[in-house]
Amino acid sequence: MRSFRSLAPIVLVLALVGAALAQAPVEPLSPRESVRVAYVPIMKFAPLYVAAERGLFDALGLDVTIDRVASGTEAIAFLEQGQIDVGGIAIVVSLWNGWNQGIDIRVIAPGGLEPFEGSPTKLMLRTDLADTVTEIADLRGRTVAVAGGPGSGGEYLAAKALERGGLTIRDVTLVNLGNADIPAALAGGSIDAGILGSPYADAVEADGSGVPFASDLTPGLMTVAFVGSGAFVTERPEVARRFALALMQAARLMQGDAYLSDENVAAYLGYVNATEEALRAGAPVVYDPDQAIPLDGLADVERTHRENGRTAYETPIDLADVADTSFVDWAREVLGPWSE
């Protein structure tokens, strides 16, 4: 485990902004409290990185220790065992089944959101089918590739694309292929369409093997979240509130051009496997400066997987057992609503 509390040097204007935000808007906890976090190293958890590296946790009296894990499944196990307080994880079918069985963890803050427009993730159609497959309904009976298999995020995206043509995943043949393998399958004609994100969708379009067929499949969707253990949420609410407050401060430091400030980029590079050049060339991830937990989107994810027969239950889950919005609500009251 490492504790990240250093501040990177920045230009004067950004230094002044950072210093103002690093001054705790509420009294820091005394004595200081420790928080243990496990995260999957992707940019959708970047508010965590910025809050740690820009001193926001520190200013609120939190000693945050952050550990990288290979998967959200590993983080969930640590949460259940009480080894960590917070996990940065994807919202997948196994988690919904866990909630149905009474797993005692709650979503306490959102991760990065899907873009509201211009998403790099698309349903790509094999180019030689473009004259005959002209609308989503024409995919009936055809082969569609997704990464992750049954109940995965890729399958959910495919389901949302198919809904536009009145289809479900039962109306097509879904195959599980890794993102890196889908372009070759399109080029070779073994699949008719596939869900692809950057850089694979761009590569497929550039080499002529596929064309965009449906885009902006889930605008504003929260596919990953910060999830707190039951003990953290119920027994340490003051700590959880300040943790959420630091994440909100961080998200506000990442809006617009500030997303790629030198200080933020330095923070990102301490936690993800990327280069500065790749970060600056890639599409920015969307972080809600008000850190609202999109309950409607969560409900739609649950409904889609349940109706597709991917859950081990049939009755809709009460989202009160899934998310606790009180921490981000409190943080928003402290900081006020975001205004540019």
Q: What is the CATH number of domain 2-113+221-335?
A: 3.40.190.10
Crossing angle of helices 46-53 and 237-252, in 10° steps, is 100
User: One-letter amino acid identity for 70?
Assistant: A
pLDDT for 23: 63
Counting beta carbons within 10 angstroms of the beta carbon of residue 233, is it exposed (0 to 12), middle (13 to 18) or buried (19 or more)? buried
Crossing angle of helices 295-307 and 93-100, in 10° steps, is 90
- The alpha helices in the chain, defined as continuous H runs, are 12-22, 46-53, 56-59, 72-81, 93-100, 153-163, 182-188, 200-207, 230-235, 237-252, 262-269, 276-281, 295-307, 326-335
Neighbours of 56 (CB within 10 A): 28
Rounded-to-integer distance, Cα 95 and Cα 322, Å: 10
The answer to whether residues 175 and 191 touch, using CB atoms and an 8 Å cutoff, is: yes
- The tokens of 249 are what? 């401060």
Note the pTM of the prediction, 2 decimals. 0.85
Which segments of the chain belong to CATH 3.40.190.10?
A: 2-113+221-335, 122-215
Specify the 3-state DSSP secondary structure of 91.
Answer: coil
Render each residue's pLDDT in the chain as its tens digit; 340 residues: 333 333 344 333 444 444 444 467 999 999 999 999 999 999 999 999 999 999 999 999 999 999 999 888 899 999 999 999 999 998 889 899 999 999 999 999 999 999 889 888 999 999 999 999 999 999 999 999 998 888 888 899 999 999 999 999 999 999 999 888 999 999 999 999 999 987 789 889 999 999 999 999 999 999 899 999 999 999 999 999 999 999 999 999 999 999 999 999 999 999 998 899 989 988 788 999 999 999 999 999 999 999 999 999 999 999 999 999 999 999 999 999 998 7
Answer CATH for 122-215 from 3.40.190.10, 1.10.3720.10, 3.30.450.70, 3.30.1340.10: 3.40.190.10
pLDDT for 214: 97
pLDDT for 6: 37
DSSP 257-272: GGGG-HHHHHHHHTTS
User: One-letter amino acid identity for 56?
Assistant: L
pLDDT for 73: 84
